């Protein structure tokens, strides 16, 4: 009979594309004794989370909450609620997660019009303008921070083009949330989703989302049922809103306790201070990596400070070095995806992992190995 021992994992230094390191206060909050998901005290926790999510997303949208599932479920929540069979959706693709948006939209029965750019470069607004002019779009979906390539997509011009076309703007902010400036109301974003495990530095498994009144109007005027029971906002919103909360599902109570504390930490630090911390440590890492012969994939003005995509110098076995970083130094960095597999590293400086110590530990280990 197999003997299953007590779990005792290695203490890793998380510098990949997610998850990031978690603050001890968040871990402590997750060990808080359980209460019921309809307990009045837990409903207060939900209210706290909603308020702080609004603050960190810079929105007053009443329908702002946390999906009890990871960021990919947040992506599905936005699309399955807003799209019906036959709708036209413009989907911008400049990496893995734009492709995932297109796949989900097609599964909703929508006609997808793709706007693509070379991986490692942002979407060109001129291409968006042409696509919007040649269809009757219900929405445009785009990734703000493309985790597979390290591209930060400028949003304001594309938002204006989308609004001029009478379409909803859906944004993937999984990696950008709490790491760079994100202005839901000012940028006219109608539906947005993120994840708990990146720059927020909570445990994986939750997805903050927000919906504008225009998006809610679309939801309330659907002609067909939302294809997903679990993600159907016509039901889920009744668990998060109003004086009488309607049971929908058993919320992940411990993860929500951690989410609440992670949001408190963000607001204690201050959003602008947090953005500046990510930028400062990105620059420190950039200087050190360039000194070791690494080059960045993305042009300077479009680089994500929290997800650094760097080309592997000639003659270096990238997989062997990543294994040594993990096995000898307990440092995790990510490899490339899709056409960049084996060609780049994706080095995360997210939330609690965006520190000078993290940068110096990685640079020191690389100098020793290389």
Tens of each residue's pLDDT in the chain, 370 residues: 789 999 999 999 999 999 999 999 999 999 999 999 999 999 999 999 999 999 999 999 999 999 999 999 999 999 999 999 999 999 999 999 999 999 999 999 999 999 999 999 999 999 999 999 999 999 999 999 999 999 999 999 999 999 999 999 999 999 999 999 999 999 999 999 999 999 999 999 999 999 999 999 999 999 999 999 999 999 998 899 877 788 999 999 999 999 999 999 999 999 999 999 999 999 999 999 999 999 999 999 999 999 999 999 998 999 999 999 999 999 999 999 999 999 999 999 999 999 999 999 999 999 999 8
As a whole number of angstroms, the distance between CA 178 and CA 47 comes to 19
Residue-wise burial string across 321-351, b where 16 or more C-beta atoms lie within 10 A, e elsewhere: bbebbbeebebbbbbbbeebeeebbbbbbbb
Can you give the pTM of this predicted structure? Answer: 0.96
Q: Which residues make Cβ contacts (< 8 Å) with residue 11, sequence separation at least 6?
A: 330
Please report the pLDDT score of residue 242 as a whole number.
73
Q: How many CB atoms lie within 10 A of CB 226?
A: 21
Please report the pLDDT score of residue 245 as a whole number.
86
Return residue ranges of the chain for CATH 3.90.1150.10. Answer: 13-18+271-369
Return residue ranges of the chain for CATH 3.40.640.10. Answer: 24-266
CATH number of the domain located at residue range(s) 24-266 in this protein: 3.40.640.10
How is domain 13-18+271-369 classified at the CATH fold level?
Answer: 3.90.1150
Please report the pLDDT score of residue 351 as a whole number.
98
Q: How many CB atoms lie within 10 A of CB 155?
A: 22
Please choose, from the candidates 17, 11, 35, 10, the residue with its C-alpha nearest in 3D space to the C-alpha of residue 306.
17
Please report the pLDDT score of residue 243 as a whole number.
72
Q: Which residue has the tokens 């930060």?
A: 152
Q: How many CB atoms lie within 10 A of CB 290?
A: 12
Please report the pLDDT score of residue 168 as a whole number.
98
Chain centroid, CA 216 distance in Å:
22
Please report the pLDDT score of residue 111 as a whole number.
98
């Amino acid at each position: 009979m197999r003997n299953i021992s007590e779990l005792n994992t290695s203490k890793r230094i998380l510098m990949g594309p997610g998850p990031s390191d978690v603050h001890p206060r968040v871990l402590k909050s997750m060990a808080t004794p359980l209460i019921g998901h309809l307990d009045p005290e837990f409903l207060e926790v939900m209210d706290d989370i909603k308020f702080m999510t609004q603050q960190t997303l810079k929105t007053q949208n009443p329908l702002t909450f946390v999906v009890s599932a990871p960021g990919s479920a947040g992506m599905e929540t936005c699309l399955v609620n807003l799209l019906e069979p036959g709708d036209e959706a413009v989907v911008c693709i400049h990496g893995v997660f734009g492709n995932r948006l297109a796949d989900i939209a097609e599964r909703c029965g929508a006609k997808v019009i793709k706007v693509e750019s070379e991986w490692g470069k942002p979407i060109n607004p001129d291409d968006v303008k042409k696509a919007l002019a040649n269809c009757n779009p219900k929405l445009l979906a785009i990734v703000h921070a493309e985790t597979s390539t390290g591209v930060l997509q400028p949003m304001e011009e594309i938002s204006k083009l989308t609004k001029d076309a009478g379409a909803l703007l859906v944004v993937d902010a999984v990696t950008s949330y709490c790491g760079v400036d994100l202005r839901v109301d000012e940028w006219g974003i109608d539906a947005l989703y993120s994840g708990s495990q990146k720059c927020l530095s909570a445990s994986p498994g939750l997805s903050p989302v927000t919906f504008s009144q225009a998006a809610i109007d679309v939801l309330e005027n659907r002609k067909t049922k939302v294809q997903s029971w679990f993600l159907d906002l016509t039901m889920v919103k009744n668990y998060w809103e109003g004086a009488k909360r309607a049971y929908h599902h058993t919320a992940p109570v411990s993860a929500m306790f951690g989410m609440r504390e992670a949001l408190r930490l963000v607001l204690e630090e201050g959003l602008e201070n947090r953005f500046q911390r990510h930028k400062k440590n990105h620059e420190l890492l950039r200087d050190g990596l360039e000194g070791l012969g690494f080059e960045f994939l993305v042009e300077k003005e479009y680089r994500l400070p929290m997800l650094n995509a760097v080309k592997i110098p000639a003659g270096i076995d990238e997989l062997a070095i990543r294994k040594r970083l993990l096995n000898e130094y307990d440092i995790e960095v990510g490899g490339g995806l899709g056409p960049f597999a084996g060609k780049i590293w994706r080095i995360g400086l997210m939330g609690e992992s965006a520190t000078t110590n993290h940068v110096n530990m990685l640079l020191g280990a690389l100098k020793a190995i290389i």
